[in-house]
Every structure is written in structure tokens, then in C-alpha cells.
Chain A
Amino acid sequence: QKEVEQNSGPLSVPEGAIASLNCTYSDRGSQSFFWYRQYSGKSPELIMSIYSNGDKEDGRFTAQLNKASQYVSLLIRDSQPSDSATYLCAVNRDNYGQNFVFGPGTRLSVLP
């Protein structure tokens, strides 16, 4: 079983819509969860981190964590063409919290 799973996409949404990206993980002991954005040919950059169950909002981005169901999601409101990228979900996999496993990423395309 893969440790972190994401739909590979592409996920296409019209400009101004809400994009919903999902991630499931297998290790119940995971404590830290991250969403990274990666533009084509560039390195990943952090968008959000979340550590507690519930929602965490930062501008147009909302991360949602449900540890009981072992999923974490990212909502992007008012999607813009500049949001078109691959979104990587990362989960820590040891108690020290430093060692991540990344999901394969979901490619998002925001259509003007």
C-alpha cells in the first residue's frame, strides 16, 4: 500500500471556482502535514502546513485535516490561472517529525 495517495489529475476548474485537492495517508502516527505547490520545471514551495484536526485558512487556501479518516485536503478559492501547477501532499513518517513522504502530486489546471 502506498503511504501517501493523491489523484494524479489533471483536475481542471474554471477561473474563479473552488479547486479541491485530496490526499490520504496510511500511517496513523503521522503528526505533520504539508501542501507544496510545484510549477513545471521549478522546485516545490510550501503553501500550507497543518498539525491539528480541522481547518486552517491562509488567504485563498484552506487546509483540512481529519486524522480519524486519515485524509488531508486543500481548497483553493477563487482559483486563478496562476494556480495551475502540481500540488504535492507531504506527511511526516517518524516520531521525530523530520522525515517526509510525498504523494505523487495532483496536477491542477485553472481555465481562464
Chain B
Amino acid sequence: DVKVTQSSRYLVKRTGEKVFLECVQDMDHENMFWYRQDPGLGLRLIYFSYDVKMKEKGDIPEGYSVSREKKERFSLILESASTNQTSMYLCASSAPTSGDTQYFGPGTRLTVL
């Protein structure tokens, strides 16, 4: 089974803090994705990566950055957290060999106070 893990299930941070969200997958997938999910807005793509050290902006990259130093790990960084970044953050991975199916981690519910 594909396993995607995220570093924290719940996280509470203060405005202005730098926040790191970690995602690790164990299936040697090339592709990794970060989404946020908000009521009424659905899943929105923040950043994605098709390879190590490669990153592409998604639909809502503002206020976020990412890092992919190793194939299995994709980190989302909030340089200076703001209250409007309070959300559920979901990481996913996929590979062409799995029919492009994206497999999701359990999610991190981030609250910025």
C-alpha cells in the first residue's frame, strides 16, 4: 500500500512565525503535491513537484514556498504565517505507473493565531 505521512496532525502557530510542514511518501513516487482545503472552496493546489529539486507553482502559491531535496520528501514552508493561512493542508503523491492516481496523506490542520 502507498503510504503518505505528514509530520503533524494538528499545529498551532502565531502570526509571523515560520512554519514547516513535512510530507514523506514511501512508494518512490516522482510527483508530489501540496493542497489546502477550506470549506466551500474545495482542494486548491499550492505547489507541486515532478522531480527532486524541481517545483512548480499551483493555483495559490502566494505566501508559501516548498523544498524537495529528496525524492520521498516534500516540504511546505510558510515564511511568515498569517491568520488567512489557517486551513487543512494535504500532501499527495503520484506516479505514471499508478495511472497518475494521487494518494493523500492524513492532513495537517494548521491554526494561525
Contact = CB atoms under 8 A, between A and B. Distances in A.
Interface of A: 32, 34, 42-46, 49, 51, 88, 90, 92, 96-105
Contacts of B94: 98
- Give the top 10 A-B pairs by smallest Cβ distance, nearest first: A104-B42, A43-B104, A102-B43, A97-B100, A43-B107, A98-B31, A44-B104, A32-B100, A43-B106, A46-B101
Interface in B27-48: 31, 35, 40-43, 45, 48
Contacts, number: 48
Interface of B: 31, 35, 40-43, 45, 48, 50, 90, 94, 96, 99-107
Given A43-B105, A98-B50, A105 B42 contact: yes
Given A44-B104, A104-B41, A49 B99 contact: yes
Contacts of B99: 32, 49, 51
B14 to A, nearest CB: 24
B42 A45 contact: no
Nearest to A32: B100
Contacts of B100: 32, 49, 92, 97-98
A37 B24 CA distance: 22
19 contacts: A32-B99, A32-B100, A34-B101, A34-B102, A42-B106, A43-B105, A49-B99, A49-B101, A88-B43, A90-B102, A97-B96, A97-B100, A98-B31, A98-B50, A98-B94, A99-B45, A100-B102, A102-B35, A102-B42
Nearest to B35: A102
A6 to B, nearest CB: 9
Given A44-B104, A49-B100, A103-B42, 20 more contacts: A32-B99, A34-B101, A42-B107, A43-B90, A43-B105, A44-B43, A44-B90, A46-B103, A49-B101, A88-B43, A96-B50, A97-B96, A98-B94, A99-B48, A102-B35, A102-B42, A102-B43, A104-B40, A104-B41, A105-B42
Nearest to A92: B100
Contacts of A105: 42
